[in-house]
Every structure is written in C-alpha cells, then in structure tokens.
Amino acid sequence: MDFETVKKFILEKLKELLLVLENFGRYLEEKLNTLIPPDVRDSKIYPWLIYVGLPVTMGVLFLILFCWCCKRCCRCCCCSRSRGNYKMMKAPGRDYRMRRSDFESDPRSYFLDLRGKRPKNSSSGDDNMYLRYGLLDP
C-alpha cells in the first residue's frame, strides 16, 4: 500500500463518519422535537438555560479552574509536605515523623536518647532532642 491509497482510504472513512454523525444529529433533533415542541423550547427552556444553567456552569468551571491552579498549594497543605524537600521517616519507637538524614547521620545517639541512656553530662534537653531529630520545627 502506498501513501495515496492510504490517504484515499482515510478520506473515505472520514466521509462515512461525517454521514453517521449527521444522521445521528438529525435523529436527536427529531427526538427532541417529539419530546419538547419547538414553541415550548423557545419560551421555557432557553430562558432557563440562560438564567440558571449558564451561571451554574460558569461557577463549576471557575471552581475546577481554581482547584487546578491551586493543586500544588492544596497538596502541600493537605499532605504535610510544606516543611521542605527532604525525606521523612517514621521515628523508630515513637509516633512521630523525622528527617531521614538526621537519623542516618547518628542513629546511635537517637537510640540512646530514646532509651534514656544518654550520659548525664550531656547538655541536650528534651526540647533540644526533638529539634535535633526534626520532630519539632524551630
């Protein structure tokens, strides 16, 4: 098959598709005329579409556009991703989330603080520990 035969085939199929769509449009128009007479359509339905349907449609489209524009902001707020671009993990032994890099840098110190076995001469208080491991924002 060369290019010309493929082109002719596609054009014929498009013509058939247009005929089918035209016939379907006529069928829908006939059904609409039997269900709702044209004089009723002009006096009742068109004003309703203008005064009720159009504002509702515009409002829905505005809300969809607003949500689409703000999806990144909403995703950050709803999914607690607004803290930064670092990886988080569940703190072992606690019901908190902490920065993975803080835990991986010194896991021994984290577990000493967790079990309360840190030497007493350490100057780290409880608040300091939470700040150090990213459990509280400074």
Q: Is residue 135 classed as helix, strand or coil in its secondary structure?
A: coil
Residue 77 lies in a domain: no
Query: How far is Cα of residue 22 from the mean position of the Cα atoms in its chain?
Result: 37
Asked if pLDDT for residue 112 goes beyond 70, the answer is yes
Please count the structural domains in the chain. Answer: 2
Q: Tens of pLDDT along 9-62?
A: 999 999 999 999 999 999 998 998 888 887 887 788 778 888 888 899 999 999
Query: 81 pLDDT exceeds 60?
Result: no
Q: What is the mean pLDDT of the chain?
A: 79
Q: Is residue 96 part of a domain?
A: yes
**127 part of a folded domain:** yes
Per-residue model confidence (pLDDT) at position 83: 54
The answer to whether residue 66 is domain-embedded is no
Q: Look at residue 24 and tell me if it is in a domain.
A: yes
Q: What is the mean predicted confidence (pLDDT) over 116-137?
A: 58
Check residues 30 and 77 and name the one with the higher pLDDT: 30
Domain that holds residue 113: 88-132
- pTM of the model as a whole: 0.32
The separation between the first and the last C-alpha atoms of the chain, rounded to the nearest angstrom, is: 71
Number of separate helices (H) and strands (E) present in the chain = 8, 2
